[in-house]
Amino acid sequence: MERVLVPILAAIGLAVVGVLITFLVQELIEKRRRAAEADLSEQKINISHQGIRYDALRQFYSRARLHESGLGLYALSVDGEIVVSPTATKNEWLGLAIDASNVECRRQPKPLWVPPPAFDAVPRDYRNHLLAKLERSGAVLFDDPIYRLVELKIEQDRIAAEFSVDRFFNYRKVSGLVIEELEETLVRNKVGLANDLATLRSRLGSAMKQVPLRESLLPGGRELIDFANRMPQGGVCVMLAIARPSPDDDYMIPIMRRTGRTAIAQEDLTLTPQGMHAPRLNREHEVGLRESVLRELWEEVFGVEEAERGERGAIDAESHPPIRWLLDHPEQITFEFVSFVVNLHQGNYEFGVLLAVHDPAYFALFSEYEDPNWETTLFHRLSSKRPDEISQILRRKDWTPEARLVLAEGLTRLDSVQTSMATPRVLLPAIESSVV
């Protein structure tokens, strides 16, 4: 009996030891995975909140790369502190005051965009790695139709733009992967963990030499504004300013932080409404940028879910009470395009818009409708009469590149509009913009 039990017990002991070793190895692997994720999370936060992405993009897009096409970087001076934004623009694209009625948009029938040979020249394994990174991010992605900008003409009092209909994945899974590439190289080079300026500069220099996709598709100014031959996704960024009655006697400007589930600009600070220029049902009617502004206002500020659109799609926005009021009271609003830029983070086109409601009755009537949608984790009401807060928020480093610009340009325009009004509602810090 003893001869039988000994080997059985030995086998059981070995099995138990094996299970224990397997458990301990798995625990060690899991512990290392959690530590790596914590390190990665810390770097991501540092990269975003310390403006490291901005520094990286400014280093990549040097003056030589941009000036050859007449572009420069947007520079903003706020109370004497200069902030340079990773947005490419021209002086004639800033300081605009073009009424929305003078923005002409047409649809140009074109076949779906095909990635250029430069994209195929980037190793397939590398592209697939970036694509897998995007798919693991948890972002909500839909292959919806979008408007691709193909032609643009901006004059002093008029904008003429032509768009073709394309697919979101044609952008996001091709040139849009430069977002993942940028984050990947900054994390791999531990840029977000640099403890001093010399180390930061050294690591940034190394990181921005390891971006073959950006070098192939968006290497400089010529490619950035060659809209007809590339795949620029983009849209509208709106500074909404709603007059509030006494005792505030100001404009309320909503600002939000995007969730980590959005397809682009995850966890960044931005203005609201902001969104892609895209059709929902009627590709001819919705090609106007005005329609995208109203739709995004409807969804992002007043919280109407996309699933609630009904049969007429985005056109239904015009029947929603807060939107209907704006359309019925044009004399009480300023609806102007104030800027155009190319966002260097993704190469997107961005139209900056000021939508100001001057009648305080609007706030009294519709503030209860305010219900930010799922894209928002933070919703802040900025007052146009608090220059210290405006100064502080303009100098933050966690903005989307285009939103800070639109806030500055929108506030400047709003300040000039209020000169004809009986009640001053805007008090600004010292703000001055330029192209460098």
Amino acid identity for residue 423 in this structure? T
CA 316 to CA 309: how far, in whole Å? 6
pLDDT digits (tens, 9 = 90+) for 228-269: 999 988 999 999 999 999 999 999 999 988 654 444 444 678
The set of residues, in sequence order, having a beta carbon less than 8 Å from that of 400 and lying 6+ positions away, is 237, 258, 265, 268, 269, 270, 274, 343, 345
- In the three-class reduction of DSSP (H, G, I as helix; E, B as strand; rest coil), residue 316 is classed as helix
| Per-residue pLDDT of the chain in tens (436 residues, 90 and over written 9) | 556 566 666 667 666 766 677 777 776 766 665 555 445 445 554 555 457 888 899 899 999 999 989 999 999 999 999 999 999 999 999 999 999 999 999 999 999 999 889 888 999 999 999 998 888 877 778 889 999 999 999 998 999 999 999 999 999 999 999 989 999 999 999 998 888 889 988 999 999 999 999 999 999 999 999 999 999 889 999 999 999 999 999 999 999 886 544 444 446 788 999 999 999 888 888 999 999 999 888 888 877 665 344 445 445 667 788 899 999 999 999 999 999 999 999 999 999 999 999 999 999 998 876 555 445 456 789 999 999 999 999 999 888 889 999 999 999 999 999 877 777 899 999 999 999 9
Q: What integer pLDDT is reported at residue 414 of this predicted model? A: 97
Q: Is 22 exposed, middle or buried (0-12, 13-18, 19+ CB in 10 A)?
A: exposed
Say what the pTM is: 0.84
CA 103 to CA 125: how far, in whole Å? 43
Per-residue tokens: 217: 């598709």
Apex CA 247: angle with CA 242 and CA 249, to 5°? 35
CA 160 to CA 198: how far, in whole Å? 46
Residue 372: φ, ψ to 5° = -55, 145
HEC assignment per residue over 344-391: CCCCEEEEEEEEEECCCHHHHHHHHHCCCCCCEEEEEEEECCCHHHHH
Residues in the chain: 436
CA 412 to CA 20: how far, in whole Å? 67
